[in-house]
Structure 1
Amino acid sequence: MAARTAFATALAGLGEDAPLPVTARLFAQAGVPVFPCAPGGKNPLTEHGFHDATTSPGQVESWWRRFPAANIGMPTGAASGVVVVDVDVHGVNGYDAFRQARRAGLVNGWEALVRSPTGGLHVYYPASLASEQPSWQAGRVGIDFRGDRGYIIVPPSRRIIDGETSLYRLASLSPTPGRALDASALRTFLDPPRPPRRLPERGSSAGRTDPLKLAKWLGGEHTDRNHKLFWASCVLAEEGVPYRDALDAMLTVSQPDFGQREIARTVASGYKRIHVDTPRPREAGTARAGPVHDLDAIPEGHVPSRGLR
């Protein structure tokens, strides 16, 4: 009979008020590799980021002795044995797409549900033993997949948003062991591939788009900016505008409620939809708090965790 992953087993025995150094050590002792991230944030504090993650209690104690308020990062994929569907609420309400995928039977088999400080949802599954599951983004629908070569911030880590501290909270544990997710099928469902489009001939201006003009237009918009930015990014990618040119232009649209991090992620998602080798977006600033959603995306039969608020 299948057993829960080491991560879900360790998570089941933790209290949400457990000190971060104690929790990090308990994860390591359970065989879950961890590494320290910035207090109240997500950026790794080690030189090689999630590649430095370890199950060595001595190394983990040393890290958290130096950074006692550090958040706990965990590599996803084969390294930890778990993958995560990240339901976002920045600009696009990812719960809508998650519900559709649930109705299609594509997101069953989860082990744990974690509420993020901004109102999103992290859905944990056992990693596939059959093949690698690389991380991907479907920014148009507000869903990211954290698999191989990715990482996630785990409970009881915290974020500081608008001056207030908010925790990553365990919302539910499945009463039975989970099963591997078909991440490829989920990606195809959420972000269907588009037929290739022939780019303009080199040296021809016909059909090419000026990213600065699109950025100026976007700067005058005040509704559905994330959707419009995604559309603009796809257009620029299709017309052969270099990714960095598009990103630099769109970052000029940055406003207090439309930050550089969100812009960078959306531009990268648009380019990834057209060109799979687009660079990962650089971190830029801290995301604003999104609306708090009820966990109505939780499938029936879940077991609520103690102390859920």
Structure 2
Amino acid sequence: MATTDRHAAPAAALALAHALAAAERGLSVLPLSRTKLPALRSPHHDDPLPTPCRGECGSFGHGVYDASSDPRRVRALFAAAPRATAYGVACGVPPHHLVGVDLDTKPGTDSSAALRELALRHLFTIPATVVVITPSDGRHVWLSGPPDVAVPNSVGRLAPGIDIRGAGGYLVGPGSLTAHGVYSAAPGTGHLRPAPCPPALLRLLLPPPAHPYHAAPDPDGQRGAGLVQFVLASHEGQRNTRLFWAACRAHENGLAETLTAPLVAAALQTGLTEQEARTTIASAARLTATRGRG
């Protein structure tokens, strides 16, 4: 270990150790300060005009573009930032093309519940993967994306309290010490590889197409009949999921008033109680209204 490492403050030495362990797993890392910002000042800070440089100049201090999985470069980065007590993990770069789902704990929002409702609505599940617990008891869910797709960063676009870290962004790595506390891997997840992002979730994270396709309406007298049939075809274990999805589609297409009773009746035939059915439909109404206000 380099001399600079031996004489680093304990928190900085620990951050370097965690960063090197992450680099061994193929993750690209960079040193962060206690404020969670890149610890190295830009070499172009004093330039009279903005310099569009992403590290081409060869110097450190280009934020996430400094990130590397090369142990020698990682040590050099931390040697240049001896007060770094945290490290960031770059998103959107090989081999994992990391996508971070940041479930915040802002007052008045339940981001975990919002993600569950999105999963029900769009028929996906979050696989077993790395989950990092933040000092405020939030969650960072690590997923891997396809190599040919750049997932953009976003704040609250998916749902209130859910931020996305994609290409050009980074996540605070487990073991980091910040001004607000320590980031740690959720029990049983630290050894996992980032699991592939479910395709349905990936579609939600990408920008809408330039010319969205609008499906033709159902024939007269048949509007919404397909949604009712979708619920009637439910098997045990998917009844709530299918009802939730159908109710969301009904609200989005202005059919909620006419379809609520048929959807409840269909749900009763699949084995749900009336209370369960109406609770699920009400949940779909809340989520659809929230996304409409966004």
Matched, 1:32 2:27: yes
Kindly name which structure, 1 or 2, has the bigger radius of gyration based on alpha carbons.
Answer: 2
Correspondent of 1:48 among 62, 72, 75: 62
Counterpart amino acid of residue 100 in structure 1: E
1:5-60 Cα offsets, whole Å, 9 max, x none, are: xxxxxxxxxxxxx921112122223322111111x221112321001111221221
Distance 1:153 1:175 in 2: 17
Aligned position for 1:113: 131
Structure 1 residues without counterparts, runs of 5 or longer: 1-17, 196-272, 275-309
Which residue of 47, 62, 69 maps to 2:76?
A: 62
The verdict on how the C-alpha distance between 1:69 and 1:100 changes in structure 2, with shifts beyond 3 A counting, is farther
For residues 174 and 155 of structure 1, the distance between their equivalents in structure 2, rounded to whole angstroms, comes to 8
> Are the aligned partners of 2:130 and 2:185 in contact in 1 as well (CA < 8 Å)?
yes
- Counterpart of 2:39 in structure 1: which amino acid? L
CA contact (8 A) 1:154 1:168 kept: yes
**In structure 1, what residue type is equivalent to 2:72?**
G
1:72 paired to 2:67: no
- Please, which of 151, 160, 171 is the counterpart of residue 152 of structure 1? 171
Matched with 1:96 is 113
* Corresponding residue for residue 6 of structure 2: none
% identity of equivalent residues: 26
TM-score with structure 2 setting the length = 0.51
Q: Contact 1:41/1:158 (CA < 8 Å) preserved in 2?
A: no
**Following TM superposition, by how much is the alpha carbon of 1:179 offset from its aligned partner in structure 2, in angstroms?**
2.0
Question: Residues 175 and 36 from structure 1, CA distance in 2 versus in 1: closer, same or farther, beyond 3 angstroms?
Answer: closer
- Counterpart-to-counterpart distance in 2, 1:113 and 1:150: 17
Let me know the Cα RMSD of the aligned residues: 3.2
Name the SS for the 2:39 alignment partner.
coil
Tell me which of 8, 16, 19 is aligned to 1:21: 16
> Structure 2: where are the runs of 5+ without partners?
1-12, 41-60, 213-292
Shift of residue 170, structure 1, vs aligned partner: 0.7
Change (3 A) 1:126 1:23: same
Change over 3 Å in CA distance of 1:184–1:32 after alignment to 2? closer
Distance in 1, matches of 2:191 and 2:134, equals 21
Q: CA deviation at 1:79?
A: 4.3
Q: Is the 8 A contact 1:53 1:75 kept in 2?
A: yes
1:221-250 CA distance string (max 9 Å, x none): xxxxxxxxxxxxxxxxxxxxxxxxxxxxxx
Q: Which has the higher helix share?
A: 2
Tell me the distance in 2 between the aligned counterparts of 1:30 and 1:175. 10
Q: How does 1:1-309 map to 2 (within 5 A)?
A: 19-38=14-33, 40-46=34-40, 47-70=61-84, 71-79=86-94, 81=96, 82-91=98-107, 92-104=109-121, 105-138=123-156, 141-161=160-180, 166-171=181-186, 172-173=188-189, 178-182=195-199, 183-187=201-205
Equivalence for 2:7: none
